[in-house]
Amino acid sequence: MTVPADDRTSRGESWVQLHRGATGPEHVRHAAGLPVTTVARTVVDCFREDGLAEGLAVGDAALRAGLVTVAGLRLVRLQQRRWPGVTRAAVGLPLLDGRRESWLESYSAGAMAGRDVPVGVPQVVVLDDWGEFVARVDVGWPALGLVGEADGRGKYLSDLGDGLGEDEHAAASRVLASARRESRLRELGLDVVRWDTSEMVRRPQQVVARWFSAARAADPTRVRAVLRCSCHRLALTDCPAGTGSTPYGRRTG
């Protein structure tokens, strides 16, 4: 909770964390009759208080939903000059990308960027050398010939019931389809690195070590795949969406 700058902060034994901060009327709106910080202020505060990975997850979701603009976020950050943690916001804002489609994708991008992994292109469409659709991967590093898949449980268990009977077969079918898909990506010369939620949150250094190993083994000269952005189906270098100026929405296909 944010309190006016002249109010006291939390006591150590309290379960409520109070953060003192100047909060002008331009940073406040009302929800269900309660004063809350605006979305833009909340995103920047999350970067400052929670760090790069968590801030990126919140910021990407807000950007994707059309609740904020990059310009608006930058303005809030400028208004917080010399505030504690504002450097983390300065680092995080340029990494925002509304093309990321899940909390795990965004959190992963922040956690990996904080460990010197270059930021990849989100949601890359992979076509074969005949122009036929092969896959849409969570993130790609085209200059390296490498793609990444952030595997949350929902990728295999969404829309399933209690995990028994036919639902078990449905989950198994999804796993087998994923294996066939990865095999096809490798046939086209792309190296693939995967991780799940638990691993990224609890052991991100292991994911990063595996990424660097895959990057060393990858060879972009052997890639036969054609890579396109998922939002406009353009060559990745021509996609305007990464600038933050394009509205985002959920995409399929």
**In tens digits, what is the pLDDT along the chain, a chain of 253 residues?**
777 665 565 566 677 777 777 888 999 999 999 999 999 999 999 999 999 999 999 999 999 999 999 999 999 999 998 899 999 999 999 999 999 999 999 999 999 999 999 999 999 999 999 999 999 999 999 999 999 999 866 555 555 454 544 566 666 677 677 789 999 999 999 999 999 999 999 999 999 999 999 999 999 999 999 999 998 899 988 888 754 434 333 333 3
How many residues are given for the chain?
253
Q: Evaluate whether 42 touches 63 at the Cβ level (below 8 Å).
A: no
For domain 121-243, the question of CATH label 3.40.960 is answered with: yes
Q: How many CA atoms lie within 13 A of 218 on its CB side?
A: 24
Rounded-to-integer distance, Cα 71 and Cα 182, Å: 38
Residues of the chain with CATH 3.40.960: 121-243
Taking the model in full, what pTM does it have? 0.84
Q: Evaluate whether 231 touches 240 at the Cβ level (below 8 Å).
A: no
